[in-house]
């Protein structure tokens, strides 16, 4: 049998604010490094690119933007990085991604605009590289409150977060074939959450022969 080429795994971490996402992303990166695995961290939005700078200014409320336009910029920000993500994966590097297209759908659809349906919000991200696995950090509103409230950026309030969570639930149901999307109880101590994430990524993290899929295919 001809030897098939291994590629790196594409792991996405999603979650609401105060879910411990940033902490878990760095813990997972560290575990990969400690295990000797080549790993690259990507974060969306990537605020460093010209498109990312527009997004950053919008999130800080330094500028206003039409809701459709900002949605498309978030997606464009993923598309501009997609070639380099694919390149890393093909080079055998595990890519851990802090937020991805699912945040894009969830936050925009949560605005409940008649002209921004779930389907409309999903459309610009169709054919982006699909994660091998997405881990959704599920935090309860009570726990989020206990963790010290929200920041000052746009969307960082309890009402918006609740609506976002409902869209995430829908995404989970749509994707959930039991292997590609996992909701992880993020109310627990960070060590317990980190342990579960590490277990969940085991089937992928040492490289995979599975061809990279595209989103929503």
Interface ranges with ligand FDM (CB under 6 A)? 44-45, 59, 74, 99, 103-104, 107, 155
Residue 122 preceded by cis peptide, ω within 30: no
For residue 83, the minimal CB distance to ligand FDM (Å) is 18
Give the span between the Cα atoms of 136 and 156, in whole angstroms.
Answer: 18
| Residue 2 neighbours by CB under 8 Å, 6+ apart | none
Q: Return the number of the residue (83 or 151) whose C-beta is nearest ligand FDM.
A: 151
Asked whether the beta carbons of 212 and 82 are under 8 A apart, the reply is: no
For residue 211, the minimal CB distance to ligand FDM (Å) is 25
Q: Return the number of the residue (109 or 205) whose C-beta is nearest ligand FDM.
A: 109
Instruction: Report DSSP state, residue 94.
Output: E
For residue 58, the minimal CB distance to ligand FDM (Å) is 9
For residue 31, the minimal CB distance to ligand FDM (Å) is 21
For residue 71, the minimal CB distance to ligand FDM (Å) is 7
DSSP letters, 47-81, are TTSHHHHHHHHHHTTSS---HHHHHHHHHHHHHHH
DSSP letters, 4-39, are PPPB--EEEEEE-TTSSHHHHHHHHHHHHHHTT--E
Q: Return the number of the residue (45 or 129) whose C-beta is nearest ligand FDM.
A: 45
Q: Return the number of the residue (37 or 73) whose C-beta is nearest ligand FDM.
A: 73
Q: Return the number of the residue (154 or 210) whose C-beta is nearest ligand FDM.
A: 154
Angle of helix 190-205 versus helix 21-34 axis, rounded to 10:
50
Asked whether the beta carbons of 165 and 16 are under 8 A apart, the reply is: yes
For residue 74, the minimal CB distance to ligand FDM (Å) is 3
Q: Return the number of the residue (37 or 76) whose C-beta is nearest ligand FDM.
A: 76
């Amino acid at each position: 049998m001809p030897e098939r080429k291994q590629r790196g795994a594409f792991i996405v971490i999603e979650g609401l604010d105060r879910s411990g996402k940033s902490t878990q992303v760095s813990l997972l990166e560290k575990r990969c490094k400690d295990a000797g695995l080549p790993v690259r961290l990507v974060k969306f939005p990537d605020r460093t690119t010209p498109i990312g700078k527009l997004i950053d200014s919008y999130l800080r409320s330094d500028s206003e933007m039409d809701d459709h336009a900002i949605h498309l910029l978030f997606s464009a920000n993923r598309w501009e990085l997609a070639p380099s993500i694919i390149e890393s994966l093909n080079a055998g590097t595990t890519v851990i991604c802090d937020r991805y297209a699912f945040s894009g759908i969830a936050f925009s659809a949560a605005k409940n605009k008649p002209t921004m349906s779930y389907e409309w919000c999903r459309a610009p991200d169709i054919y982006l590289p699909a994660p091998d696995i997405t881990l959704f950090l599920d935090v309860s509103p009570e726990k989020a409150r206990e963790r010290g409230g929200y920041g000052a950026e746009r969307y960082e309030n309890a009402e918006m977060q609740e609506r976002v969570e409902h869209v995430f639930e829908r995404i989970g149901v749509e994707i959930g074939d039991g292997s590609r999307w996992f909701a992880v109880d993020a109310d627990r101590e960070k060590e317990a959450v980190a342990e579960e994430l590490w277990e969940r990524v085991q089937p992928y993290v040492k490289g995979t022969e599975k061809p990279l899929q595209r989103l929503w295919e």
